[in-house]
Structures are given as structure tokens and as C-alpha cells.
Amino acid sequence: MNETALNELIEAARLDADHVFSAPWEARAFAIALQLSEAGHFTWDEFRDHLMAEVRESDKIRARDGTSDNGEYYDHFLHALEKLLEEKGLALPMSS
């Protein structure tokens, strides 16, 4: 995806890229998820459910280990997208 297309997606979603994303990869991950959802590969609700599950799991780990959330939202976002794409057969499973 080129920079112009990414900026158009961000603008279409009415996001302020200077304040929403702390790194370019976060904007790209959002744009990819949005574009795949709009193309009908999954619904935004499906993605949201996966994201909420990722955050819940992270909350459990932080509570158990006594760690804190250090701006991990888009890490969770990316993991949720990866898992959803694997479930839909659109990506191969990530190796551990």
C-alpha cells in the first residue's frame, strides 16, 4: 500500500494520524485491517471481538505478573489481525 492510499484510508476513517498512531507500522496495520474488512474478508465486529480477546488475555498476564501496559494497544491490534487472518485462511500461521 503506498503512502497516498494509506493517507486516504486514514482520512476516510476520520483519524488524525499525528495523534492516533505513534509509529508508521501502526497506521499501516489499521489501514490493512480496514481495507480487508471493507473488502468483505471479515466484519469489523469480528475484528473487534478478536482485539478484545487479545486485550483481555494481556490483562490477565499483567495481573498475574504485576507488569504494566506500556502502549501495547497496536501490538494487540496486530496480533488480533494476524489471528483473524489465520482463522479465515488468508494467512499462514505465524511460527513461534
Sorted by where each begins, the domain ranges of the chain are 3-87
Q: What is the pTM of this model?
A: 0.68
pLDDT at 42: 95
SS (H, E, C) the chain: CCHHHHHHHHHHCCCCHHHHCCCHHHHHHHHHHHHHHHCCCCCHHHHHHHHHHHHHHHHHHHHHHCCCCCCCHHHHHHHHHHHHHHHCCCCCCCCC
pLDDT at residue 36 greater than cutoff 90: yes
Examine the pLDDT at 14 and tell me if it is beyond 60. no
- Higher pLDDT among residues 48 and 1, named by residue: 48
Cell numbers placing 37: 474488512
